[in-house]
């Protein structure tokens, strides 16, 4: 418990530094935030009044302090372009992203465990060569390209699935309609997650098979399958739990590209259009959000590791 | 010297017995040569021919024409120049930063190490797509800014690698002796520590080119990277997205070239690892 508190206390300055650097950088950027608030027919006095009202005349450090205070109260501010409340937008968009990322990641995770164990235990045999070969190609394939190919075949040619969005207008409650929209981005994202995870499982399986306990089991006459499923898999899966913790930020930023291609109404398109329009309050909010999740994720994975691995607990 | 020869022998062995490695090397040489010499081609990548827009592949236009009637094949080759240049220069940027930070942190240790490594933590804790786009806001759009932005956000892994290599190099007798007889630390780093770390840097560099090309193409695809009139494989794919139904062939070539290039650089990195860690080849080949 003491350890967890200590970790949280260490994490806070990290987050402050990250946000401060970003705030400074955005203030240095060669554009004026006032341009997106004003309209061309405003007089100079009106613009100046707006500037004062939005606090854009204060020193950067004061602006940062005010922004930080607002964030702590859960107020993310307003989009410069559409004037909508950012916390409202985020609340409506994050669930959509989670709906897409969570099933994809879990599917990829399970598939990767199976594939990785198979590849690792058949090292340099055809199973391994096949799985590892596909993984290297998978790592080299841009997600968006794979998405385009899928879109072309299943969307345009076979017309099986709708190309965009999450619901057909008017059918917001239909689960079948949702699934039809869901399947293509889901497949793309799952395939995108698999290669890295598989390689990780494969590597640690190979490492575990070299351990002494495997030789002991072999000398006692245990079968290959028995060693793999009874003993090796346990040791391979433990560190994987920590991967789950590290994946926490993916729930927000894990699908920016896929969401953008399929116009999935999640964080991805929101962020990309905010960046293109230099809507900095949105960019900063997402930055803070993902930074917080990264830190929480690391914390979570440390805690999970402590809980699952008695060796670490005894070290403290 | 004997040890070094064995390492070279290992790499030769690896190339001889690994068909995919040979393929990767040949492909990379070919694509680099093509990218360099494509300027001598008689076809102008910017020649408009609206009468023949969005044509399917034919003998006149091997990969058809784009939405303005430009020859797509030659445009993809020119796009490759941009992608490769970004890849290599971004790699150099991140290697320079990463190696410097890693060397200084590893060699001097103590508080310097602590501060530098916390900076590495800060940089690596934010998803790259967020970091790159936020800093991308600062720079005017253009090739140089993309290179800088990608380079600025991909050096952390190299810094960590180099630091741990330096830490172990520092324990070697010849480095400790050089320190002991009072050779200035700058000189010790350059003439004793750096050569030890060098093979690691080479391996990291090849992988870095691959990932820089990938990041560049993703950014350009999102419309945050290379912008018209310049084009890279990523931005070509972005514009092909609009014509996916009418001209699907436009999406094929840049995508395949990205895959082959990234795959080959990664493969090359794997082969070079044999050089860095000779133990990999002894008996078992991987991990």
pLDDT in tens, A203-254: 888 888 888 888 888 888 878 888 888 888 888 887 788 788 888 888 888 8
pLDDT higher at A150 or A55? A150
* pLDDT over 60 (residue B279): no
**Chain B contact set for A144 (CB, 8 A):** 218, 221, 237
**Chain A contact set for B223 (CB, 8 A):** 272, 276
Chain A 152-191, residues with CB within 8 Å of chain B CB atoms: 152, 156
The residue behind tokens 């970004």 is B86
**Chain B contact set for A25 (CB, 8 A):** 134-135, 137-138
Among candidates B241, B255, B287 on the partner chain, residue whose Cβ is nearest the Cβ of A206: B287
pTM for the complete prediction? Answer: 0.83
What is the distance between the alpha carbons of residues A305 and A303, in angstroms, rounded to a whole number?
5
Q: Is B235 on the interface with A (CB under 8 A)?
A: no
Task: Point out which residues pair with B65 in neighbouring strands.
Answer: B71
Q: Is B251 on the interface with A (CB under 8 A)?
A: yes
What is the distance between the alpha carbons of residues A9 and A11, in angstroms, rounded to a whole number?
5
Residue A115's pLDDT is 92
- State residue B140 phi and psi, 5-degree precision: -65, 145
Question: Over the stretch B180-218, which tens digit does the pLDDT of each residue have?
Answer: 888 888 888 888 888 888 888 888 899 899 999 999 998
**Nearest in space to A117 (alpha carbons), one of A231, A239, A232:** A232
Residue A111's pLDDT is 94
Among candidates A257, A283, A287 on the partner chain, residue whose Cβ is nearest the Cβ of B222: A257
* pLDDT over 50 (residue B2): no
**Chain B contact set for A29 (CB, 8 A):** 137-138
pLDDT higher at B51 or B28? B28
Give, for B128, the enclosing helix (H) or strand (E). Answer: helix B128-136
What is the distance between the alpha carbons of residues A76 and A70, in angstroms, rounded to a whole number?
7
Mutation for B interface: A17, A142, A159, most B CBs within 10 A: A142
**Chain A contact set for B122 (CB, 8 A):** 14, 17-18, 21
* pLDDT over 70 (residue B156): yes
Residue B184's pLDDT is 85
ipTM of this predicted complex? Answer: 0.82
Q: Give the number of C-alpha atoms closer than 13 A to the C-alpha of residue A168, restricted to the C-beta side.
A: 10
Lowest mean pLDDT among A89-93, B49-53, B172-176: B49-53
Helical packing angle, B173-180 and B156-170, nearest 10°: 80
Among candidates B122, B135, B137 on the partner chain, residue whose Cβ is nearest the Cβ of A18: B122
Calculate the average pLDDT of chain B: 81
Question: Over the stretch A247-285, which tens digit does the pLDDT of each residue have?
Answer: 888 888 888 889 988 888 889 899 888 887 777 778 888
* pLDDT over 70 (residue A38): no
Tell me if A144 and B221 make a contact (CB, 8 A cut-off).
yes
Tell me if B248 and A287 make a contact (CB, 8 A cut-off).
no
For residue A34, name the pLDDT band (cuts at 50, 70, 90).
low
- State residue B71 phi and psi, 5-degree precision: -65, 120
3-state secondary structure of A135: helix
Residue B282's pLDDT is 41
Question: Over the stretch A168-193, which tens digit does the pLDDT of each residue have?
Answer: 777 777 788 888 888 899 999 999 99
For residue B286, name the pLDDT band (cuts at 50, 70, 90).
very low
What is the distance between the alpha carbons of residues B147 and B215, in angstroms, rounded to a whole number?
10
For residue B284, name the pLDDT band (cuts at 50, 70, 90).
very low
Average pLDDT over residues A17-32: 71
**Chain A contact set for B262 (CB, 8 A):** 139-140
Percent of chain A having pLDDT more than 70? 90
Question: Over the stretch A109-125, which tens digit does the pLDDT of each residue have?
Answer: 999 999 999 998 888 88
Tell me if B245 and A287 make a contact (CB, 8 A cut-off).
no
Question: Over the stretch B241-277, which tens digit does the pLDDT of each residue have?
Answer: 888 877 788 888 889 999 999 999 998 888 887 777 6
Residue A312's pLDDT is 63
Please tell me the distance in Å from B159's CA to the nearest CA on chain A: 19
Asked if B21 contacts B14 with a C-beta cutoff of 8 angstroms, the reply is yes
Calculate the average pLDDT of chain A: 82
Question: Over the stretch B89-103, which tens digit does the pLDDT of each residue have?
Answer: 999 999 999 999 999
What is the distance between the alpha carbons of residues A33 and A40, in angstroms, rounded to a whole number?
14
Residue B243's pLDDT is 80
Please tell me the distance in Å from A43's CA to the nearest CA on chain B: 28
């Amino acid at each position: 418990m003491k350890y967890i508190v200590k970790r949280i206390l260490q994490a806070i300055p990290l987050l402050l530094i990250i946000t401060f650097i970003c705030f400074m950088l955005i203030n240095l950027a060669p554009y004026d935030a006032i341009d997106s608030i004003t309209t061309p027919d405003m007089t100079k006095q009106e613009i100046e009044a707006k500037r004062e009202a939005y606090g854009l005349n204060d020193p950067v450090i004061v602006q940062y302090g005010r922004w930080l205070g607002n964030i702590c109260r859960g107020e993310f501010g307003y989009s410069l372009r559409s004037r909508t409340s950012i916390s409202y937008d985020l609340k409506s968009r994050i669930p959509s992203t989670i709906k897409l990322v969570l099933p994809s990641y879990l599917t990829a995770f399970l598939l990767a465990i199976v594939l990785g164990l198979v590849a690792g235990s058949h090292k340099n045999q055809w199973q391994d060569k096949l799985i590892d070969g596909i993984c290297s190609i998978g790592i080299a394939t841009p997600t968006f390209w794979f998405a385009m190919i899928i879109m072309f075949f299943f969307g345009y040619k076979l017309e099986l699935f709708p190309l965009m969005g999450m619901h057909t207008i008017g059918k917001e409650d239909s689960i079948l309609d949702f699934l039809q929209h869901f399947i293509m981005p889901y497949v793309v994202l799952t395939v995108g997650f698999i290669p890295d995870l598989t390689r990780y499982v494969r590597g640690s399986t190979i490492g575990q098979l070299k351990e002494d306990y495997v030789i002991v089991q072999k000398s006692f006459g245990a079968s290959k399958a028995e060693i793999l499923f009874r003993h090796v898999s346990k040791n391979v899966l433990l560190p994987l739990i920590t991967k789950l913790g590290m994946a926490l930020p993916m729930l927000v930023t894990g699908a920016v590209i896929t969401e953008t291609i399929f116009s999935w109404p999640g964080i991805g398109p929101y962020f990309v259009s905010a960046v293109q329009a230099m809507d900095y309050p949105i960019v900063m909010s997402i930055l803070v959000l993902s930074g917080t999740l990264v830190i929480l994720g690391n914390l979570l994975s440390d805690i999970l590791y402590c809980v699952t691995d008695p060796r670490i607990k005894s070290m403290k | 010297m004997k040890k070094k020869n064995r390492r070279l022998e290992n790499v030769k062995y690896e190339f001889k017995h690994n068909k995919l490695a040979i393929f990767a090397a040949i492909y990379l040489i070919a694509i680099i040569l093509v990218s360099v010499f494509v300027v001598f081609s008689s076809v102008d990548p910017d020649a408009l021919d609206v009468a023949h827009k969005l044509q399917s592949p034919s003998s006149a236009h091997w990969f058809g024409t784009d939405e303005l009637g430009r020859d797509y094949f030659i445009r993809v080759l020119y796009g490759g120049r941009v992608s490769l240049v970004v890849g290599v220069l971004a790699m150099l940027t991140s290697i320079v930063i990463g190696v410097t930070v890693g060397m200084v942190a590893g060699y001097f240790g103590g508080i310097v190490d602590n501060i530098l490594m916390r900076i590495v933590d800060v940089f690596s804790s934010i998803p790259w797509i967020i970091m790159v786009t936020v800093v991308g806001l600062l720079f005017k759009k253009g090739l140089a800014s993309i290179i800088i932005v990608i380079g600025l956000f991909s050096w952390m892994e190299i810094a960590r690698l180099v630091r741990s290599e330096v830490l172990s190099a520092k324990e070697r007798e010849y480095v400790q002796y050089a320190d002991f007889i009072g050779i200035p630390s700058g000189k010790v780093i350059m003439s004793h520590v750096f050569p030890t770390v060098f093979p690691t840097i080479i391996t990291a560099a090849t992988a870095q080119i691959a990932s820089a090309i990938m990041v560049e193409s993703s950014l350009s695809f999102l419309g945050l990277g290379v912008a018209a009139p310049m084009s890279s494989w990523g931005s070509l794919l972005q514009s092909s997205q609009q014509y996916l139904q009418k001209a699907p062939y436009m999406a094929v070539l840049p995508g395949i070239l990205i895959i082959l290039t990234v795959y080959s650089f990664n493969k090359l990195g794997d082969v070079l690892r044999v050089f860095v860690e000779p133990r990999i080849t002894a008996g078992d080949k991987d991990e």
